[in-house]
Amino acid sequence: MVQTFSGRSMGARALEAQQEYVRQEREKREQIEFERQNALINPPPKKLSAETSTMLQRGVGSYNQAAEAARLANEKRYQQMLGIAGQDYQRTAGIDQSMLNLAGTTTGQREADIRSEYAGQSSNIMQSLARLGMGNTTVAPTMQMGVKREEQSALNRLADEMLGTRLGIMGTMAGRNRGTELGIMERKTDAYPDQSALMEAFKSLGSGYGESGTAAMANMLSQMKF
């Protein structure tokens, strides 16, 4: 009886082992089939080739060269515009100063002319009074005072007129500021090479080459001169 029981136990264990082996093999096949199907649906990212990496690296280098050339050209043009604006400001400021100096010269000359004119009138009056025998009378000082009042009135009118002229010139000078230069600075725009082709290439790295492509994209972006 013991031998029979032992024989059946060994047979049962062998059957169980065989069934376990079959189950494991089935699971292995199922796992392999699952991975195959998954690979068909979600293929693994392609490996970034050295040729592709070199090609994109050259593209970044060419872009950087073009960007640097554009930067230098932009800066040169910008400085030229500022220089022209500065020269124009200096030229107009010089014209305004010349006008102010001319106004001062005109004022002095017209003042001298007025004084000379009224001095002549005073002399003519005294000569006329002398011929009439009234040179030492009270009439002479009265007439001289009248001439002086007219002279002073003429000088005051001249002063008012020329003050208005000078204030007008000075107002123009004050109005002339660095507006042109400031406008150039405010509207400064720089033209650089188009990045769209490189950006599209970088996007394909991230989407088509997995982690290696993303790392390559980050490295190349860090080398670009924006």
Rounded to whole angstroms, the Cα distance separating 83 from 97 reads: 21
Reported as a single tens digit per residue, the pLDDT across 13-43 is 777 778 888 888 888 888 887 777 766 676 6
Rounded to whole angstroms, the Cα distance separating 101 from 82 reads: 28
CA angle 120, 121, 125 (to 5 degrees): 115
| Sign, Cα dihedral of 150, 156, 161, 166 | positive
Among residues 179, 172, 174, 217, the alpha carbon closest in space to that of 198 is found at 217
Q: Where are the domains of the chain?
A: 45-223
Q: What is the pTM of this model?
A: 0.42
Reported as a single tens digit per residue, the pLDDT across 107-136 is 888 888 888 888 888 888 888 878 787 767
Average pLDDT in the 40-59 region?
72
Encoded amino acid at 113, one letter: D
pLDDT score for 5: 46
Among residues 108, 147, 109, 104, the alpha carbon closest in space to that of 125 is found at 147
pLDDT score for 2: 44
